[in-house]
């Protein structure tokens, strides 16, 4: 894992002092609320339903045991003893006091953590694949470049006040697990003629206007990534819309100009920066890359694992192929049925730290699916780790299954929500609590957002659930067929929305249609792609008057 | 009145910024004497006239004014003021970067408008060297703290074109 050097440490300590002073000036009335808002946002602090919420960055998802212990401590001391892992490699605290945040930042700085640019209209945390460095389909480990890019984004003087937030994701694997098609900039590492570089995707995003990004450059040598991103950002900073927050993301600019014209502008801009001082040096790459070398793997033979059904289930769902023989990556599920997806208590964080120390070289990752990964576990340790994970309630074997839901905080916490999302997730989990049934249904992503801002990635869920407001009542619109990965696409709306009470039935009906129609070895998505949306639509709305019939019914009433 | 910070001190200001009143246009507005900062439109419409009667000329750029449109004229200006109508409008940072880095503008580069303590560090880095701190803000405190809040920076920018990674031991 990356370790700070003197410059990194100095900057982060100066940041703590800066924010302490900003809070003091705000309290003293020297900064107005409007002047303070962007400053606190760029430190992850935004005011929501009950209290300020506070986002702590976990850059590209990597953490060590000391860091998660500090998160546990911070959540206990300054909050209510739990936190929420988001879809963008952050830990969100729901109830801290603004006045405490400088202290929290100081404690975080001790373990090389921060909340820099975790919200606000700036360059955000860079996200990547949770299996970086260990995935068997990895082309290039994205972490050294992600760290180099993290540093470049930090306090960038020209791009601190962009039209809107700006999110970058990097994938270094064959199969994209970082949702790169739906980021402001998505980067695919690849190798061409022996040269390492990126395919650069621009202008993707979810939210109110979901758009799949477009390739702006098929191959960019890795050394050029900072100067190229600066060219993109300069064009965006100058010409992105600032008159309407809903139209301010780069995707709107790219759509308005068309990718061709946008590319021309970027390339013209880049002609000036190309080959300049922002070109990454081999020396810097090597310096950073030494922090991400493989740990001291043992050579271990095949092991016989217990046949215990519960354990086997967990093995199947919560452990993943590793590029080193005798090792697996383990997902600790934060999707225990009945708990807000992504939530984790301080005690659980400490349990995770212990597991990481004992079994995975003291390191861990978080995924955009809001789970925790121990990336380097010996197969012979799997049974022991499973038992401890069960005790810590971190072993629900539902990774990639229907109840491993991605879910935003929704109406329980968020001011922008149209509807609650956590209770819907919990109701669906309750309905599908039977593990045999859950396993029979197989792989399926169900994603829930409480409004069109799409923090819960509903557009790319195989089943997407979106909270909508209908005459001040909470309703839910369902989409089918969305997906992440290389063929990422948006789901299709199935029809009129449903009440909260209807939702578990609706999901059950959708699942039934799949089960009745599936061929052997077909996942939900395969069946959906083969039979289309109509059979699902027909079943879900069966007996429900809509369209003309509904109007007729109303008139009759 | 905003307080002009220059060379780490509160400084006097000889410059008047020409503002168009209702009914006036770039073509019709009377050109005042003295040290005047002209809006881009006035400069473009009245360039010859301005040059003939002014020795010291200033230019005012709004966020949507393109540096490219005035790039050939930069030698005429002793000061270029870049307006930040709201401090969250970050276009002026690109304007300044372009003026300094691409067009090698050497004169005074002044941030005007909603210029606040917490943006001064960034403004300095992209190449501003004078700062019209908003009225009512504490200029002494800003001079003491705001420009040195960070002792280093990762990226290359106008004041230090070499990114940290090229300077790292
Ligand atoms: C509760 C406080 C939160 C608020 C007020 C909030 C606000 C927003 C808003 C306004 C957008 C739309 C941006 C746009 O389209 O321009 C958005 C997008 C997003 N947020 Fe949140 N969010 C919150 C929490 C979260 C959490 C907890 C997560 C992760 C679970 C998250 C992850 C995302 C993602 C992934 C996007 C959409 C992707 C995109 O930007 O295109 N947010 N959020
Ligand atoms: S999707 Fe909407 S309801 Fe959910 S966290 Fe984002 S803004 Fe809030």
Residue A545 sits in the same domain as residue A421: yes
Ligand 2 pocket at CB < 6 A: A 408-410, 414, 416-417, 449-451, 453-456
**Residues A79-109 pLDDT 10s:** 999 999 998 899 999 889 999 999 999 999 9
Pick from A261, A256, A137, A263: nearest CA to A188? A137
For the ranges A55-59, A130-134, A213-217, B103-107, the lowest mean pLDDT is seen at A130-134
Pick from A164, A168, A166, A165: nearest CA to A178? A168
What is the A455 CA–ligand 2 centroid distance (Å)? 5
pLDDT tops 80 at residue A546: no
A378 contact partners, CB below 8 Å, separation of at least 6? A298, A300, A326, A327, A359
pLDDT tops 60 at residue A554: no
> What is the CATH classification number for the domain harbouring B17?
3.20.20
What is the A452 CA–ligand 2 centroid distance (Å)? 7
pLDDT of residue A544: 77
Which residue's CA lies nearest to atom 20 of ligand 1?
A: A455
For residue A347, the enclosing domain spans: 309-391
Gap between the Cα atoms of B2 and A21, Å rounded: 23
% chain A with pLDDT above 90: 91
- What six digits make up the tokens of A353? 């730290």
% chain A with pLDDT above 70: 97
Q: B151–A278: do the CB atoms touch at under 8 Å?
A: no
Residue A41 sits in the same domain as residue A166: no
pLDDT averaged over chain B? 96
Total number of domains in chain A: 4
pLDDT of residue A302: 81
**Residues A349-399 pLDDT 10s:** 999 999 999 999 999 999 989 999 999 999 999 999 999 999 999 999 999
Mean pLDDT of A457-472: 95
Closest approach of B49 to chain A, Cα-based (Å):
31
pLDDT averaged over chain A? 95
pLDDT of residue A555: 59
For residue B164, the enclosing domain spans: 4-168
Which residue's CA lies nearest to atom 6 of ligand 1?
A: A455
> What is the CATH classification number for the domain harbouring A380?
3.30.70.3340
Q: A155–B157: do the CB atoms touch at under 8 Å?
A: no
**Residues A171-218 pLDDT 10s:** 999 999 899 999 999 999 999 999 999 999 999 999 999 999 999 999
Measured in residues, chain B has a length of: 169
Pick from A486, A497, A492: nearest CA to A451? A497
A105 contact partners, CB below 8 Å, separation of at least 6? A15, A16, A19, A20, A43, A114, A115
Residue A242 sits in the same domain as residue A317: no
Measured in residues, chain A has a length of: 557
Q: Which residues of B touch A159 (CB under 8 A)?
A: 90, 93
Mean pLDDT of A306-331: 95
pLDDT of residue A31: 96
A549 inside domain: yes
A124 inside domain: no
Total number of domains in chain B: 1
Q: What does pTM read for this prediction? A: 0.94
A396 inside domain: no
**Residues A264-288 pLDDT 10s:** 999 999 999 999 999 999 999 999 9
pLDDT of residue B126: 98
pLDDT of residue A557: 53
Look at residues A391, A417, A446 and tell me which one is the last residue of a structural domain. A391
Gap between the Cα atoms of A304 and A307, Å rounded: 9
Angle, helices A503-517 vs A524-531, to 10°: value is 80
Gap between the Cα atoms of A167 and A149, Å rounded: 12
> What is the CATH classification number for the domain harbouring A71?
3.90.480.20
What is the A294 CA–ligand 1 centroid distance (Å)? 34
> What is the CATH classification number for the domain harbouring A209?
3.30.413.10
What's the pLDDT band for A472 if we cut at 50, 70, 90? confident
What's the pLDDT band for A300 if we cut at 50, 70, 90? confident
pLDDT of residue A440: 96
Q: Is the CB of B148 inside 8 Å of chain A's CB atoms?
A: no
**Residues B57-95 pLDDT 10s:** 999 999 999 999 999 999 999 999 999 999 999 999 999
pLDDT tops 80 at residue A545: no
- What six digits make up the tokens of B89? 């409008």
Mean pLDDT of B7-31: 95
Residue with tokens 């810097």: A284
What's the pLDDT band for B168 if we cut at 50, 70, 90? confident
A301 inside domain: no
What's the pLDDT band for A551 if we cut at 50, 70, 90? low
Q: Is the CB of A286 inside 8 Å of chain B's CB atoms?
A: no
pLDDT of residue A475: 97
Residue with tokens 């081999």: A282
HSE at residue A27, side-chain half, CA atoms within 13 A, is: 10
Look at residues A391, A422, A454 and tell me which one is the last residue of a structural domain. A391
pLDDT tops 60 at residue A48: yes
Residue A65 sits in the same domain as residue A160: no
Residue A316 sits in the same domain as residue A345: yes
Residue A438 sits in the same domain as residue A386: no
Q: Is the CB of B149 inside 8 Å of chain A's CB atoms?
A: yes
Look at residues A224, A254, A288 and tell me which one is the last residue of a structural domain. A288
């Amino acid at each position: 894992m990356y370790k700070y050097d003197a410059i990194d440490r100095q900057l982060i300590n100066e940041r703590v002092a800066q924010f302490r002073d900003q809070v003091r000036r705000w309290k003293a009335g020297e900064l107005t609320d409007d002047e303070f808002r962007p400053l606190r946002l760029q430190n992850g602090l935004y005011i929501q339903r009950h209290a300020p919420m506070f986002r702590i960055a976990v850059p590209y998802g990597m953490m060590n045991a000391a860091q998660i212990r500090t998160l546990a401590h911070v959540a206990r001391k300054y909050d209510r003893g739990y936190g929420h892992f988001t879809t963008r490699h952050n830990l969100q605290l729901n109830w801290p006091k603004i006045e405490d945040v400088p202290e929290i930042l100081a404690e975080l700085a001790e373990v090389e953590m921060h909340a820099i640019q975790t919200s606000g209209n700036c360059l955000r945390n860079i996200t990547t694949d949770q299996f970086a460095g260990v995935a068997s389909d990895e082309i290039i480990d994205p972490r050294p470049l992600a760290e180099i890019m993290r540093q470049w984004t930090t306090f960038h003087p020209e791009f601190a006040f962009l039209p809107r937030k700006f999110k970058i994701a990097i994938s270094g694997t064959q199969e994209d697990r970082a949702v790169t098609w739906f980021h402001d900039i998505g980067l695919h590492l690849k190798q061409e003629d022996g040269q390492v570089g990126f395919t650069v995707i621009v202008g993707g995003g979810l939210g109110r206007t979901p758009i799949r990004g477009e390739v702006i450059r098929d191959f960019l040598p890795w050394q050029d990534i900072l100067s190229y991103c600066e060219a993109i950002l300069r064009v965006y900073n100058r010409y992105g819309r600032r008159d309407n927050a809903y139209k301010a993301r780069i995707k709107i600019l790219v759509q308005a100009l068309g990718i061709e014209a946008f590319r021309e502008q970027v390339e013209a801009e880049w002609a000036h920066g190309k080959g300049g001082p922002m070109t990454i040096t081999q020396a810097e790459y090597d310096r950073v890359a030494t922090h991400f070398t493989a740990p001291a793997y043992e050579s271990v033979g095949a092991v016989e694992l217990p046949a215990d059904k519960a354990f086997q289930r967990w093995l199947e769902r919560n452990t993943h192929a590793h590029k080193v023989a005798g090792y697996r990556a383990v997902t600790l599920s934060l999707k225990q049925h009945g708990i807000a997806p992504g939530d984790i208590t301080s005690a659980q964080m400490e349990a995770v730290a212990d597991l990481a120390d004992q079994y995975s070289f003291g390191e861990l990752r978080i995924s955009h699916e809001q789970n925790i990964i121990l990336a380097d576990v010996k197969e012979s340790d799997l049974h022991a780790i499973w038992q401890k994970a069960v005790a810590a309630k971190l072993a629900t074997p539902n990774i990639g299954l229907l109840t491993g839901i991605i879910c935003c905080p929704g109406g329980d916490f968020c001011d922008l929500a149209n509807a609650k999302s956590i209770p819907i997730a919990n109701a669906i989990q309750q309905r599908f609590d039977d593990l045999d049934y859950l396993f029979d249904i197989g792989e399926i992503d169900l994603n829930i957002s409480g409004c069109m801002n799409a923090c819960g990635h509903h557009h790319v869920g195989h089943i997407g659930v979106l909270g909508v407001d209908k005459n001040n009542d909470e309703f839910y619109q369902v989409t089918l067929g969305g997906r992440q990965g290389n063929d990422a696409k948006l789901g299709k709306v199935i029809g009129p929305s449903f009440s909260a009470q209807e939702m578990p039935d609706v999901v059950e009906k959708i699942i039934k249609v799949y089960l009745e129609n599936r061929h052997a070895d077909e996942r939900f998505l395969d069946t959906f792609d083969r039979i289309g949306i109509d059979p699902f639509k027909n079943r879900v709305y069966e007996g429900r008057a809509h369209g003309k019939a509904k109007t007729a019914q109303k008139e009759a009433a | 009145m905003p307080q002009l910070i220059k060379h780490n001190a509160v400084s006097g200001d000889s410059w008047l910024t020409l503002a168009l009143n209702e009914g006036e246009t770039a073509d019709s507005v009377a050109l005042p004497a003295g040290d005047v900062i002209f809006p881009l439109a006035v400069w473009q419409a009245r360039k010859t006239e301005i040059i003939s009667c002014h020795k010291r000329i200033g230019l005012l750029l709004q966020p949507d004014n393109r540096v490219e449109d005035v790039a050939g004229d930069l030698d005429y200006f002793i000061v270029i003021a870049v307006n930040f109508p709201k401090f969250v409008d970050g276009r002026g940072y690109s304007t300044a970067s372009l003026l300094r880095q691409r067009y090698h503008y050497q004169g005074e580069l002044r941030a005007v408008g909603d210029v606040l303590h917490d943006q001064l560090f960034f403004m300095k880095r992209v190449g501003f060297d004078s700062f019209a701190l908003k009225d009512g803000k504490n200029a002494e405190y800003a001079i003491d703290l705001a420009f040195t809040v960070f002792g280093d920076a990762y990226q290359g920018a106008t004041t230090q074109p070499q990114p940290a990674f090229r300077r790292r031991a």
